[in-house]
Amino acid sequence: MNKKKHASSEAGDALINENKKQRLDITEIRPFEELFNQNYLRPEFISACRTAFRKRLPFNNSTSVTIFNKPFPIIVLPDIFPTEFLKSVKFALEKEVFYHKSNDLYEFYQSDDLKLSTKPELVRLRETIYSSQFVQLISELTGIELDETPDLSAHQYAYGNYLLCHDDDIKNDDNSHGRRVAFIFYLVEEDWCEEDGGTLELFDSDELGQPKNVVQSIIPKWNSMAFFELNSTSYHQVSEVLSRSKIRLSISGWFHGPLHTRLSNANYNLPTSFPPRLDQFFHHQYPSINDLVNPSYLTEQGKKNILKTLRQEASIELQQFLKIEVYEKLMDSLNRVEWDENPMGPPFIRKYRLIDNEKCITPQPFYQFIHDFLTSTAFTAYLSEITRYEVTSLSSEIRQFLPGDYTLLHDQALDREGLDIVLHCIEEKNKETGEEEEWNTEWQGGTHYVAREEELLTLWPKKNTLSIVVRDEDDEEDEYDGGDSIEDEGEN
């Protein structure tokens, strides 16, 4: 993701000049009128809806339309089309080819642009949405000037699919034209509920325009349409689909139009290297490294084998890295800590938890002892020996990843070259049976390394495993879901 600037109004809201814009004339729109709910074409409804949307006022109307005003206005129209027609659209969509789309930001299935479809039901739907009457209706409901033809495609979100925090705010090179309104038609099962996931979640933003927290969650409803204005703070996401038996099916796209905004001089205050870098290592007295680390990794032959693998593969996983009794003591210590309730952000870059040190009641917890050891001169000397890299500085954190947590690729996230060192701290026991159970990749939690959009390496969490990755200037890293980990990013 690239650094962004936020937009500020040049002359108030980009409202349509009502004296110049022709009113919607339902006598001229026979095909559109046949399909679209006529309750939404009444002038008094349009006027009341636009006023509530632009001024963020409560909206009371007999149509069951909902306008959410926080964190930014979004309109939800129920009962858009005749039920039988929409069922035929859904049936036709199920015969379309959907392509798997996956990167650090999203995973879902997407159709081709629906303007290419020749299926009669989809053609009829497309011509309705492409009609000047429909575009004008959305323009009048929002008070935003729009072009004639929107983008349009269908999406399927299966179990585990998601779309993380983003703003859809895309402009042309001179910022004079771009996406103005995002819209979604929901074709989900009629009994879709919050427990199924796949909610449309809206973020508020801080004084710098960066997203903070999810403050509104909208459950997809059959035969409803949600739409909202796009700008530099219209951050939203689709939460992970939790149902194994239902597909979150939708048709979505954007209306484009001229931009009546200018770029401000405000910049995102993104961390250039997080966590904070340490240029001095701990010099405390520790038990010998021989008392903590698996002896097979300390022999001369063991260290030569590590170096050989790193030179060939640029990565290695040292399983059972800590001695068994040391690892068990570490896990016992981590299981007793309190994690911060507020995840690290901003959410378009990362979401995970750190230890809440203010709630720590143990004077010298064992997890801190191990963390200090991994950032000590003794351990960095060991790293230098097995990698042949001189570690001159490092960044280090103890992080917890819960379901839905992640880190994303970002231009400023890490220095391009260095060593990534991760000690995975997970328990591989089934809570119900107590038996050992390896990490299931269906749970996500992998760390992915990519270069120029090509995935080079994926590391999955393994109990008591130290992973070492040599990162060059072309590599980038992201992580999604997981357990606890102690992570160092060493710079060479």
pLDDT at 276 over 60: no
Flag whether pLDDT at 240 surpasses 50: yes
- Which of 68-77, 241-250, 378-387, 474-483 is the least confident region? 474-483
CB 283 within 8 A of CB 376: yes
pLDDT of residue 333: 92
Instruction: Find which of 19-28, 268-277, 293-302, 383-392 is predicted with most confidence, using mean pLDDT.
Output: 293-302
Residue 100 in tokens: 């798997």
Strands of 145-223 (E only): list them.
153-157, 162-166, 177-186, 200-205, 211-218
The whole-angstrom separation of Cα 61 and Cα 64 is: 6
pLDDT digits (tens, 9 = 90+) for 105-114: 889 999 999 9
CB burial string 448-481: b at 16+ within 10 A, e below: bbbeeeeeebebbbbbbbbbbbbbeeebbbbbbb
Angle at 92 between CA 40 and CA 31, to 5 degrees: 35
Q: Report domain extents, the chain.
A: 7-263, 277-491
Q: To the nearest whole number, what is the mean pLDDT of the chain? A: 82
CATH 3.40.640.10 is held by the domain 7-263:
no
Looking at mean pLDDT, say which of 76-85, 275-284, 440-449 comes out highest: 76-85
Q: Which of the four pLDDT bands, split at 50, 70 and 90, describes residue 270?
A: very low
Which residues, listed in sequence order, are joined to residue 78 by a DSSP beta bridge? Answer: 224
Tally of CB atoms within 10 A around 374: 23
Cα–Cα distance measured from residue 411 to residue 400, given in angstroms and rounded to the nearest whole number: 23
Long-range contacts (CB closer than 8 Å, 24 or more residues apart) made by 266-273: 266/5, 266/6, 266/208, 266/209, 267/3, 267/5, 268/3, 268/4, 268/208, 268/209, 268/210, 269/208, 269/210, 270/3, 270/346, 270/349, 270/410, 270/412, 271/412, 272/412, 273/395, 273/414, 273/415, 273/489
pLDDT tier, 261 (very low <50, low <70, confident <90, very high otherwise): low
* Element of type H or E holding 31: helix 30-35
Please tell me the least confidently modeled range out of 267-271, 337-341, 366-370, 468-472: 267-271
What pLDDT score was predicted for residue 476?
57
- Select the more confidently predicted residue: 288 or 127: 127
Least confident of 128-142, 215-229, 249-263: 249-263
Q: Is the pLDDT of residue 281 over 90?
A: no
Q: Is 391 exposed, middle or buried (0-12, 13-18, 19+ CB in 10 A)?
A: buried
Give the C-alpha distances (Å, rounded to integers) separating 345 from 274, 383, 481. 11, 30, 15
State both tokens at 479: 């992580």
**Mean pLDDT lowest for which of 110-124, 135-149, 438-452?**
438-452
Which pLDDT score, from 0 to 100, does residue 23 have?
41
Higher pLDDT, 394 or 299: 299
The reply to whether 7-263 and 277-491 are identical in fold is yes
pLDDT in tens, 177-211: 889 999 999 999 999 999 999 999 999 999 888 89
Q: Give me 202's structure tokens.
A: 């809206």
Report pLDDT for 91: 96
* The pLDDT value given to residue 60: 78
CATH value of 277-491 in 3.10.20.30, 3.40.50.720, 2.60.120.620, 3.40.1280.10: 2.60.120.620
- Rounded to an integer, the average pLDDT of 371-376 is 88
Q: What is the arithmetic mean of pLDDT over 28-45?
A: 79
Instruction: Say what the pLDDT of residue 268 is.
Output: 47
Q: What is the pLDDT of residues 123-153, one digit of tens each?
A: 999 999 999 999 999 999 999 999 887 889 9
